[in-house]
A and B are shown apart, each in its own frame.
Chain A
Amino acid sequence: MGRALSARAARLTNGLAAEDEAPAMGEIDLTSAEAAPIPFHVREAAEAALDRGETHYTTRPGVTMLREAIARHLTGEGFPASAEAMLITNGGTEALYIALQTLLAPGQRIAVAGPTAANIVAMIRFIGAEPILLPAARGVGFMPSVAAIEEADAEAILLATPSPVTGQALSSEELAMILAAARRREMTVFLDRSLATALYDPSRARFTDPTLGAQVVQIGSFSTGHGLTGWRVGWLAAPEALMKRPRDLKQAMSICTTAVSQFAAMAVLDDPEDWAAARRAEFARRRDAARTLLGEAGLATVEPDAYPALLADIRAVEEDDRRFAARLRAERGVVVQPGSTFGPATAGFIRLDLGAPESALRDGIERLAMFATRDAAR
């Protein structure tokens, strides 16, 4: 048989094959979260939906009441949205893919602000656009300066706040400056707010410039913040004038989003027991414990605004984060993500996922602390 794969699919596959191996048995995996038990009221709502016979296709853009609820929520946060100009997607990733695939033309350039997962950069290349990775500004976290954004030779910009890589969130003022700069340059703004529901302080999700907030192409998710990753529910909201192509592609890709999952998501938004607050408190406890232990081992950490990321600065013991991570894995059996996989701004850091199983997190951080104090400098 001749060459089977399309060139871009082959490129994507080869790129992924080059990634590190998945954690093996016996290794402590601090790169991904364990499944969270779903709250009882969410389970009840999902069961009730099944009992009502919600087993058919839903309306194409998604269950209307869910879109209305999300729109109200977003509008309240300073990002005016409507149920009509919204799509419910099979997770935030599908929302991001649909947005980029339909709203960027092949050959267009998109500025990528802040540390970004390699698979998102691969996605941009897959659709035929060109990612421009903006350098981080000196001394102010990991985001590029406003000037760098204004000077970028790009038709669009992608940024995530809070950042899934660092856990850091932009303040309302910082975001307003970035959006204003993008607007001056007439860039399409893709704003990934998938972790807005994972903020330790939910009031930080509020944005004070709804005029700017109404113009972004916004992506959200029920995965990390609400612990519904396996249910696959996210959303895409944008000015109505941009929504036709995303709607058409969603239909062509997956028709609609899983019905029972949409009803589970709706129940999450209506949270009678303040389950979300308990989840935040649990992550805060883990964050504080981890930061204390790592600090005692001489590893500074970056204060995250949202779970589950925790970045540790390893430069005091080792310059090369990939080497550090490889040795930590080989010598201590602990798997972490080297920061440079997310771009140059996070080189010299490693990323831990605080959603790892509690015992693995405790053991893994102890081993990491031990490694940093005793072995790394060897």
Chain B
Amino acid sequence: MSTSATTTSQPAEGSSTVNIFEMMDRARARKDVISMGLGDPDLATPEHIIAAAKKAMAEHRTGPAPVKGLPQLRQALARKLERENGITADPETEILITTGGQEALFLVIQALIEPGDEILLPDPRYTSYDEAIELAGGRMVLVPTREEEAFDFDPEEVEKRLTPASKVLLIVTPSNPTAGIVTPARIRRLAEIAQEHDLIVISDEIYEKFLYDGHEHLSIASLPGMRERTITLNSVSKTYAMTGWRIGYLAGPAAIVDAVAALKAMVNLQAPTVSQWATLAALEGPQDCVAEMREIYAARRRLLMGALDEMGFSYGEPRGGLYIWVNISSAGIPAIELSSLFLDEGVLIFPGTGFGENWGGFMRMTLLQPIEVLGEAIARMKRALAKHRGEEA
């Protein structure tokens, strides 16, 4: 199904993201709540990254930086994109540092979308996309993803929804919230569709480092003919547990990067300088920390999957990312009510409606608590379910 965004300049009242934050307020009022809500890694930013930030401060490298970001950082990103993603990008003209991945996405949407344009994106979805698209006056065309397909993005479902107004195809892999990935074969087919129908592709790859069970990440911009029409979005927030530093980046054709840079200059001039030096250390320093984090998340994922099996909930096949997208229909109540019961027992979990209006039977659980805390959260969820099912019986 598709929904249409109006051309008002303001985000909708009571948008899904905002409801989530109201729920967080309720959780904050209690001291003992375990949060499996927000996508903020509990792990600390690795020590060598913090040391680099302190060194930049001690050496007074804290002053203004160019709109597109520190040249050294753009060069490091060009190397990273080449080495890890097979994407060639000129650090002078084709890379821009943003104040977090969120800003990259917000600005790219404003740069590309205008009233009348359609943007195809997977459903369920990270609903901050909705607000950015709505502000630009674009029309969201939602492409459903399905549990039985592990929430992979189906190229046929995309093709069915193409119209003369289709302009942008948004790919998110791994996905927030579903933990699905777009498998390489489907990435290749989507690339063909984009070229056949002259679509611009935005590829959001911020969870690229967290893939499980041998699954592989493929960046669509690395495919022949795609670098000219793809904007790759990424961030160090999740990869290096750096959410509070607010550094994201994008790579794409120079004309689009230039326009995004003009917007960046308009909305806040530059990404914070100290955070950029910290990011340089993250990219150029030892990468063992990323593998370690992935192992930690993988262990939590196994624990949570086992517990969900015991609770009688299904969850597709979580192939990547930091979440599990749980089908709670066996509980017999909408997710918003189950969220409330979980919160009564002291666990904060966002209902699926925070990720699209069609998802009232799902919840997003994060892997972002230490394993022993996760164990306690599981015990509380089970208690809440036992009470609920006891009352029903």
Q: Which residues of A pack against B, CB within 8 Å? A: 1-2, 4-10, 12-13, 16, 32-38, 43, 46-47, 50-51, 53-58, 60, 89-91, 93-94, 97, 101-102, 105-106, 119, 122-123, 126-128, 228-232, 244-245, 248-249, 251-261
> Are A231 and B272 in contact, CB atoms less than 8 angstroms apart?
yes
> Are A60 and B21 in contact, CB atoms less than 8 angstroms apart?
yes
Which A residues are in CB contact (< 8 Å) with B17? 248, 251-252
How far apart are the CA atoms of A4 and B135 in the complex, in Å?
Answer: 18
> Are B112 and A230 in contact, CB atoms less than 8 angstroms apart?
no
Considering only CB atoms and an 8 Å cut-off, how many residues of chain B contact the other chain?
A: 68
The 6 A-B residue pairs with the shortest CB-CB distance, nearest first, are A35-B63, A259-B244, A230-B273, A6-B114, A252-B131, A94-B268
Q: Given A127-B9, A128-B9, A260-B245, A231 and B106 touching (CB < 8 A)?
A: no
User: Quick one: which of B156-177 are within 8 Å of A by CB?
Assistant: 167
Which B residues are in CB contact (< 8 Å) with A251? 17-18, 21, 128
- 9 A-B pairs whose Cβ atoms sit less than 8 Å apart in the complex: A6-B111, A7-B114, A13-B258, A90-B99, A97-B267, A252-B102, A252-B135, A259-B245, A260-B53
Which A residues are in CB contact (< 8 Å) with B244? 54-58, 256, 258-260
How far apart are the CA atoms of A8 and B99 in the complex, in Å?
Answer: 22
User: Quick one: which of B298-330 are within 8 Å of A by CB?
Assistant: none
Q: Given A97-B266, A119-B266, A252-B17, A57 and B40 touching (CB < 8 A)?
A: yes
Stretch of B54-62, B75-83, B333-341 at the chain-chain interface: B54-62
> Are B268 and A35 in contact, CB atoms less than 8 angstroms apart?
no
How far apart are the CA atoms of A13 and B57 in the complex, in Å?
Answer: 33
Which A residues are in CB contact (< 8 Å) with B273? 230-231
How far apart are the CA atoms of A229 and B274 in the complex, in Å?
Answer: 11
> Are A258 and B245 in contact, CB atoms less than 8 angstroms apart?
yes
How far apart are the CA atoms of A46 and B38 in the complex, in Å?
Answer: 25
User: Quick one: which of B92-110 are within 8 Å of A by CB?
Assistant: 99-100, 102-103, 106, 110
Q: Given A230-B273, A253-B103, A12 and B62 touching (CB < 8 A)?
A: no
Which B residues are in CB contact (< 8 Å) with A257? 246
From A32, A33, A58, A260, residue with most partner B Cβ within 10 Å: A260
> Are B11 and A252 in contact, CB atoms less than 8 angstroms apart?
yes
How far apart are the CA atoms of A246 and B45 in the complex, in Å?
Answer: 30
Which B residues are in CB contact (< 8 Å) with A245? 10-11
Q: Given A12-B262, A248-B10, 15 other A-B contacts at CB below 8 A?
A: A4-B253, A4-B255, A6-B110, A35-B62, A55-B242, A56-B41, A94-B268, A97-B266, A101-B135, A127-B9, A128-B9, A231-B273, A253-B106, A258-B275, A261-B275
**Which of B135, B258, B263, B275 lies in contact with A260, CB distance below 8 A?**
B275
Minimum distance in angstroms from B72 CB to a CB of chain A: 15
User: Quick one: which of B367-391 are within 8 Å of A by CB?
Assistant: none
> Are B9 and A57 in contact, CB atoms less than 8 angstroms apart?
no
How far apart are the CA atoms of A254 and B128 in the complex, in Å?
Answer: 10
Minimum distance in angstroms from A234 CB to a CB of chain B: 8
> Are B266 and A122 in contact, CB atoms less than 8 angstroms apart?
yes
> Are B128 and A106 in contact, CB atoms less than 8 angstroms apart?
no
Name the residue of chain B whose CB is nearest to the CB of A244: B13
Q: Given A50-B54, A57-B40, A230-B272, A106 and B9 touching (CB < 8 A)?
A: yes
Name the residue of chain A whose CB is nearest to the CB of B110: A9
> Are B9 and A9 in contact, CB atoms less than 8 angstroms apart?
no
**Which of A4, A50, A248 lies in contact with B256, CB distance below 8 A?**
A4
Minimum distance in angstroms from B370 CB to a CB of chain A: 14
> Are A230 and B274 in contact, CB atoms less than 8 angstroms apart?
yes
> Are A55 and B102 in contact, CB atoms less than 8 angstroms apart?
no
Which B residues are in CB contact (< 8 Å) with A93? 266-269
Name the residue of chain B whose CB is nearest to the CB of A229: B64
Q: Given A56-B243, A261-B274, A9 and B267 touching (CB < 8 A)?
A: no
> Are B9 and A50 in contact, CB atoms less than 8 angstroms apart?
no
Minimum distance in angstroms from A120 CB to a CB of chain B: 9
Which B residues are in CB contact (< 8 Å) with A231? 62, 272-274
How far apart are the CA atoms of A209 and B259 in the complex, in Å?
Answer: 43
Encode B273-312 as 1/0 by CB contact (under 8 A) with A.
1110000000000000000000000000000000000000
> Are B40 and A56 in contact, CB atoms less than 8 angstroms apart?
yes
Name the residue of chain A whose CB is nearest to the CB of B258: A13
**Which of A122, A244, A255 lies in contact with B102, CB distance below 8 A?**
A255
How far apart are the CA atoms of A53 and B45 in the complex, in Å?
Answer: 8
